[in-house]
Amino acid sequence: MGKDYYNILGVQKGAGQEEIKKAFRKKAHKYHPDKANGDEAKFKEINEAYQILGDPKKRGQYDQFGPAFENMQGAGGFGGFRDFSGAANGFNINMDDLGDIFGGIGDIFGFSNGGGHRRSARGRDLQLLVNISFMEAVFGIDKEIMINKQVVCDRCNGNLAEPGTKIETCKICKGTGSTTRVQQTILGNMRVNATCEACGGEGKTYSKLCATCFGKGTVMDKVSLKIKIPAGINNGETIRLTGRGEAGDKGAPAGDLYLKVQVAPKPGFERVGFDVKSAVDISFTQAALGDKIDIETVHGAVKLKVLAGTESGTVYKLRNKGIQRLQASGKGDHLVTVNIKTPRNLNRKQKELLKELNI
């Protein structure tokens, strides 16, 4: 099972964004590693939970698909929700959300959130709808899709400078991206870090920006992607392709690509989990005397032995003739409901014979 982010933050599933933010602040405040009773592991966990629940879009995806794909992690590029947004890899805190965790001191002394290198924006996550057939979902399929997205600029290779021109270390901050100044406050002199204005925190200056991307490092392009839909996927489930979303600005990490799978129904077949259900009509005679009949399954026709004296509505199970379990071993079953056709429009002779049988 995936982590229960609601439980981690101690809020109900239906909690409003404001409530989630409050709960996060309270918990982050309590477990902050700088505190005497701080707990770094807990703090990271809380932060990870807030990365998802604090963002309505990610929260929606988590609510909808969250735990389902946990076990797909590490399998051929499919990721679980655990590494969503990379939050688990380290501290990645939005200072605005932490707000007055340090008693609002930031506001009094005019601290900026920054200092150090400006964090360039991670690429956007993309969501794409992929339509497949019932049988493609059962056996999996490789598909090629076209997608419009921001990709790393070819001309400058994402390093923002016009080819052949110089990139220099910022002379003002000496490449650190931040400047330190001493500010007088009521508590005495304090050293304050601020983003370097000369280079905007990048630590580098360019004599000429790339003529194609104008110093963004990425451009819009139509790209073709080969995707692998795993056997056993079900309608409405989502596959996450780490790093296949849009490229980030200025060398920032790429976003993720979410493929929402839509599976077309197949007449006569009903899918329930990894089982497939179908129904078959047999005659009164077959039901009474028993018979061997062909049942269509996703694995082709399978012989079913109908027992003598079978009642209408009996369900027979064809073991392992269902759907491959997603990212696991074994298959579901095929369940076939046997319906007995009551004879209608009998001719005179048939009626006579039935009467004679009297059963």
For residue 152, state whether it binds Zn ion (rule: CB under 5 A): no
Q: Which of 23, 49, 170, 261 binds Zn ion (CB under 5 A)?
A: 170
To Zn ion, the closest distance from the beta carbon of 170 in angstroms equals 3
- Which residues are CB-neighbours of 133 under 8 A, at least 6 positions away? 263, 264, 266
117/334 with CB nearer Zn ion: 117
Q: Which of 25, 155, 228, 260 binds Zn ion (CB under 5 A)?
A: 155
Residues in contact with Zn ion, counted by CB under 5 A, come to a total of 12
Only segment of 139-147, 203-211, 252-260, 262-270 that touches Zn ion (CB under 5 A): 203-211
Q: Which of 75, 147, 167, 172 binds Zn ion (CB under 5 A)?
A: 172
Only segment of 58-66, 152-160, 269-277, 325-333 that touches Zn ion (CB under 5 A): 152-160
99/175 with CB nearer Zn ion: 175
Only segment of 71-79, 151-159, 227-235, 272-280 that touches Zn ion (CB under 5 A): 151-159
- HEC states along the chain? CCCCHHHHHCCCCCCCHHHHHHHHHHHHHHHCCCCCCCCHHHHHHHHHHHHHHCCHHHHHHHHHHHHHHHHHCCECCECCHHHHHHHHHCCCCCHHHHHHHHCCHHHHHCCCCCCCCCCCCCCCCEEEEEEECHHHHHHCEEEEEEEEEEEECCCCCCCCECCCCCEEECCCCCCCCEEEEEEEECCEEEEEEEECCCCCCCCEEECCECCCCCCCCEEEEEEEEEEEECCCCCCCCEEEECCCCCCCHHHCCCCCEEEEEEECCCCCCEEECCEEEEEEEEEHHHHHHCEEEEEEECCEEEEEEECCCCCCCEEEEECCCCCECCCCCCECCEEEEEEEECCCCCCHHHHHHHHHHCC
To Zn ion, the closest distance from the beta carbon of 123 in angstroms equals 15
Q: Which of 192, 198, 288, 293 binds Zn ion (CB under 5 A)?
A: 198
Reported as half-sphere exposure (CB side, CA atoms, 13 A), residue 213 has a value of 26
Pick out residues in 251-310 that bind Zn ion (CB under 5 A). none
Q: Which of 130, 137, 173, 338 binds Zn ion (CB under 5 A)?
A: 173
To Zn ion, the closest distance from the beta carbon of 202 in angstroms equals 7
For residue 153, state whether it binds Zn ion (rule: CB under 5 A): yes
To Zn ion, the closest distance from the beta carbon of 173 in angstroms equals 3
Only segment of 33-41, 163-171, 272-280, 334-342 that touches Zn ion (CB under 5 A): 163-171
Distance CA 91, CA 6 (A): 20
For residue 196, state whether it binds Zn ion (rule: CB under 5 A): yes
Q: By the 8 A CB rule, do 261 and 326 touch?
A: no
Distance CA 204, CA 183 (A): 26
Only segment of 123-131, 154-162, 229-237, 350-358 that touches Zn ion (CB under 5 A): 154-162
Only segment of 6-14, 118-126, 188-196, 296-304 that touches Zn ion (CB under 5 A): 188-196
35/119 with CB nearer Zn ion: 119
Here the tokens at position 203 are 């630590």
For residue 212, state whether it binds Zn ion (rule: CB under 5 A): yes
Q: By the 8 A CB rule, do 258 and 84 touch?
A: no
- Which residues are CB-neighbours of 16 under 8 A, at least 6 positions away? none
For residue 199, state whether it binds Zn ion (rule: CB under 5 A): yes
Q: Which of 20, 132, 156, 259 binds Zn ion (CB under 5 A)?
A: 156
For residue 194, state whether it binds Zn ion (rule: CB under 5 A): no
Only segment of 91-99, 193-201, 227-235, 324-332 that touches Zn ion (CB under 5 A): 193-201
Here the tokens at position 283 are 């005659």
Q: Which of 9, 213, 298, 318 binds Zn ion (CB under 5 A)?
A: 213
Q: Which of 210, 254, 261, 295 binds Zn ion (CB under 5 A)?
A: 210
Residues that bind Zn ion (CB under 5 A): 153, 155-156, 170, 172-173, 196, 198-199, 210, 212-213
